[in-house]
Amino acid sequence: MDFSSNIASQLNAGTILPEGIVIITLMVILIGDLITGRNSARWLPYVAIAGLLIAVLDLCLLWDLPEPDGFLGSFSSDNLSIVFRGIIALSTAVTIPMSIRYVQQSGTSLAEFIGIMLTATLGGMFLSGANELVTIFISLEMLSISSYLMTGYMKRDPRSNEAALKYLLIGASSSAIFLYGISLLYGLSGGKTNLMAIAANITDVSGTQSLGLAISLVFVIAGIAFKISAVPFHQWTPDVYEGSPTPVVAFLSVGSKAAGFALAIRLLVTAFAPLTEQWHFIFTALAILSMVLGNVVALAQTSMKRMLAYSSIAQAGFVIIGLIAGTDTGYSSMIFYLLVYLFMNLGAFTCVILFSLRTGTDQISEYAGLYHKDPLLTLGLSICLLSLGGIPPLAGFFGKIYLFWAGWQAGIYGLVLLGLVTSVISIYYYIRVVKMMVVKEPSEMSDAVENYPEIRWNLPGMRPLQVGLVVSVVITSLAGILSNPLFTLANDSVTTTPILQSAVVTQQLPQETITVSTQSLESDLDTSH
């Protein structure tokens, strides 16, 4: 007993307690399913949600840890990672209620689905705090492989199979490229795996910045861009979004993306600090392409899920603005945007699921005249889409304003202007759906709406869906007006995270201070060994 507690304190194992809670939940679900069989569907999802919420609660308790590094520096539970882990856990907690009915209706097992989703969540959470190459890669694979499984979960649906295969092939190759990039990084830094150590060692030889380092940067960014589906690494997104089960798409567009951004911040800001100019340049290109292509192509979509796929590409472009700004406000605007994006995007997906459960279609034209049959769904979807389009006073408006504000402050005027123009374009396709639902007269109703089933919330699995819908819609409408706590959270997480602080400082001060600060961090690491 004494021995184990000793080990635990040496490893600082408390840092991964939230993940531990998720693992225990996962175990409970797997074993509970084995014991009680099919009936387990009644209580399993609630156990999962409860587990995730407890994990989020525990994350709150871990705020401002005096000693955030766990497992000999390979996992960091600093405030930045806490926020991102919170976003990922919350996104799963909101996704599960919307998947219950969907999975049951398709006749597949719910427990397995939730199990895989929790595994993916776990991967994402570890990825947000991973501070070392091996941990990063393992958690990335944990997230990716469970995502492949989930996209192909509707075994009898050929489109789901197609999506899974596409996702698997492209995802595996992007993982391989990413792995190649970090292996180069490992070699160039002289065999270091810890990000801080890598940064320090690369800086030492940076007198001759090798081609290898540049290649490694490009490969790493390719891997990250695949996860956040930034153009031109986005080709999988529309097809996978269209074919996969909708709850999975919801998770991919929020949880998985947030994990990708966490990885981007940590890896680029620490390990690639000497190459800041270069990765800023690449990300500027990614942002421009994502905003333009995502928003313009979304205009032409006829399927709701494909439209949301392109819209999520475009949203990633907006978030990158915060990353490129590279200031305190830049990072906190990213976090703030992801927080509100979580609710508005998941809210939109909840509505899409609800509509397809009742009518069996995702075509935008089939939404015509929905206002007359289902006002609640119309209201929810309208609010979420308008918020995605950045219409005040909804949450998305404030998120976008904050991103553009931070970008302007950092002096990247061109990107901000482009962001503003493309977000006006986005208003057009979001409002097109609203127009379909609200403006169309009863005589112009689509067939699907014409035969709209009676609204019944008492079917199994519908109640949680309703709760999820109401919660997301309420948060989307109020989080903007009452966003002060969210702002404070996002700001605090950035200003109290050492890696970002040193990065922000290095951008403003001359080169010498970089080595000083990183060396002092390295000596900290040495003492902890």
Binding another protein by CB under 8 A: which of 405, 466, 470, 519?
A: 405
The DSSP output letter for 107 is: T
Cα distances (angstroms) measured from residue 454 to each of 198, 374, 377, 459, 469: 61, 9, 13, 12, 18
> How far, in Å, CA of 196 to CA of 269, rounded?
10
- Shorter beta-carbon distance to another protein: residue 84 or 397: 397
Beta carbon of residue 398, minimum distance to another protein (angstroms, whole number): 7
Task: Provide the token pair at 272.
Answer: 């690639």
How many residues of this chain interact with another protein, rule: CB under 8 A?
33
Task: Provide the token pair at 159.
Answer: 């489109």
3-class DSSP state of 303? strand
Give the number of C-alpha atoms closer than 13 A to the C-alpha of residue 167, restricted to the C-beta side.
30
Beta carbon of residue 391, minimum distance to another protein (angstroms, whole number): 6
375 near another protein, judged by CB under 8 A: yes
420 near another protein, judged by CB under 8 A: yes
Which residues 6+ apart lie within 8 Å of 468 measured at CB? 94, 97, 98, 346, 350
Beta carbon of residue 352, minimum distance to another protein (angstroms, whole number): 21
439 near another protein, judged by CB under 8 A: yes
Which residues 6+ apart lie within 8 Å of 93 measured at CB? 49, 52, 53, 56
80 near another protein, judged by CB under 8 A: no
C-alpha torsion angle, residues 80, 84, 90, 93 (rounded to 10): -130
- DSSP letter for each residue of 35-71: HHGGGGGGTHHHHHHHHHHHHHHHHHHTTT-SS-EEG
493 near another protein, judged by CB under 8 A: no
Binding another protein by CB under 8 A: which of 4, 208, 443, 484?
A: 484
365 near another protein, judged by CB under 8 A: no
- Shorter beta-carbon distance to another protein: residue 280 or 372: 372
392 near another protein, judged by CB under 8 A: yes
Omega before 66 cis (within 30°)? no
Beta carbon of residue 401, minimum distance to another protein (angstroms, whole number): 7
- Shorter beta-carbon distance to another protein: residue 12 or 332: 332
Size of the chain, expressed as the number of residues it contains: 529
Residue 392: Cβ-neighbour burial (10 angstroms; 0-12, 13-18, 19+): middle
Within the chain, what is the greatest distance between any pair of CA atoms? Answer: 76
Task: Provide the token pair at 526.
Answer: 């040495």
3-class DSSP state of 194? strand
470 near another protein, judged by CB under 8 A: no
Beta carbon of residue 426, minimum distance to another protein (angstroms, whole number): 10
Binding part of the chain for another protein, among 208-216, 229-237, 240-248, 479-487 by CB under 8 A, reads: 479-487
292 near another protein, judged by CB under 8 A: no
For another protein, the binding residues in 216-245 under the rule CB under 8 A are none
- Shorter beta-carbon distance to another protein: residue 43 or 428: 428
For another protein, the binding residues in 316-335 under the rule CB under 8 A are 329, 332
Task: Provide the token pair at 346.
Answer: 């998941």
Binding part of the chain for another protein, among 103-111, 183-191, 416-424, 508-516 by CB under 8 A, reads: 416-424
Cα distances (angstroms) measured from residue 29 to each of 37, 90, 389: 11, 18, 38
- Shorter beta-carbon distance to another protein: residue 153 or 336: 336
414 near another protein, judged by CB under 8 A: no
Of residues 438, 422, 442, 429, the one with CA closest to residue 302: 429
- Shorter beta-carbon distance to another protein: residue 406 or 521: 406
Binding another protein by CB under 8 A: which of 263, 269, 386, 521?
A: 386
- DSSP letter for each residue of 311-324: HHHHHHHHHHHHHH
Beta carbon of residue 402, minimum distance to another protein (angstroms, whole number): 6
424 near another protein, judged by CB under 8 A: yes
Question: Which spans of this chain sit near another protein (rule: CB under 8 A)?
Answer: 329, 332, 371, 375, 386, 391-393, 397-398, 401-402, 404-405, 408-409, 416-417, 420-421, 424, 427-428, 431, 434-435, 438-439, 483-484, 487-488, 491
